[in-house]
Amino acid sequence: MRTSVGIIGAGPAGLLLAQLLQRHGIDSVVLEARGRAEIESTVRAGVLEPGTVELLAEAGADARLRRLGQEHRGIALAFDGGRHRIDLYALTGRAITVYAQHELLKDLIAARLEAGGGLLFDCPVTALEAFDGSGPARIRYRDAGGERALECDFIVGCDGFHGIARQALGEREPPWHRQYPFAWFGILAATPPSAPELIYACHERGFALVSTRSPTLQRLYFQCAPDDSVDAWPDDRIWDELQARVPAADGVGLERGEILHKNIVAMRSFVARSLQRGRLFLAGDAAHIVPPTGAKGLNLAAADVRLLALALVEHFRNGSEAALLDYSRRALRRIWRAEHFSWRLTGLLHAFPDAGPFEREMQRAELDYLVSSRAAATSLAENYVGMPRDWD
């Protein structure tokens, strides 16, 4: 098989890149090790920056998002028994959209199949070859019929931290990496909304997050030990813990209901030293991971893809490789901005095991400053809704 761009991974980055390229008449094939049903049913959060929503519109994959996504113009910071609203729209003129990632993946898969683009499920990649040379690169993979090879001009690895693309790229120095001493316990609950907007709660027992998914589904998280177990948390204990950490509003606490799904999310930061080598490029979680506190993971993947799509279009139209050669530098600038914001917000809202009274008072002072200073609130809001697209 032969194509212009071979894409490894049918997550948001890989599917969005394929769709953008197709809109510009550039053919690609997406190879995915998992099955379609697994991809479309894996529960993950989804807070979309306005730039990501605009990019999905350019890709022609925003119809359901426009209909079902929930625009939020603010967030709440909860601490010391009270809730304080940060008005994102008043401070920046921009808002976020809450739309579950697996729903977005359904949209991108449907758009890809409707357009007749190459999308192969249950096809694990086994090797990458010749991406350093001047000739075509090759992706070797396996399907039900045996070993296959895909020849292409460029390879883009969107297959995550443990994927083959990052390993094949290789790094002369280890990547930048930070492991946090806690994790998130996440639930999907069949309840009406407890609040109109996201609540970020800082409590001496640990962090908590309340996020509305739909009028009947809510996604909630609370800080837990990294070696904690889902089995250790029966439903009543979960609701009691969340209620203890999230202060009631006007005497009304969280809405309780049936818990449909439980999982534990690891907390870490990772940035690759370089996102390109020859004709192999990295995007999304293969290039970087951020703690979920700042809601940047999916949005960074979209920002990578926008830059890479523009660079590939320039190459196939004009024969220029200038933008491709500059991809890593430009992408890493935004990545480090998002990493810093996520690291700062994580440190501000979580209970660290080694923190003493002094550190806790410093944390409280910073939170008080954020909700009482317009300048401080503007800085948080600007980073939360995402830097402008031309900031690269």
Catalytic residues: 72, 200, 292, 296, 384
CB–CB of 341/383 below 8 Å?
yes
Q: Is 253 helix (H, G, I), strand (E, B) or coil?
A: coil
Show the DSSP H helices in 88-180 as ranges.
88-92, 101-114, 164-169
17 contacts 165 by C-beta, under 8 angstroms: no
Q: Which residues pair with 96 in a beta bridge?
A: 72
Name all contacts of 367-376 with Cβ < 8 Å and 24+ positions apart.
Answer: 367/77, 367/79, 367/202, 370/77, 370/86, 371/77, 371/84, 371/86, 374/91
Question: What angle is formed at CA 208 by the lines to CA 56 and CA 344, rounded to 5 degrees?
Answer: 70
Residue type, 141: Y
263, two tokens:
């999982």
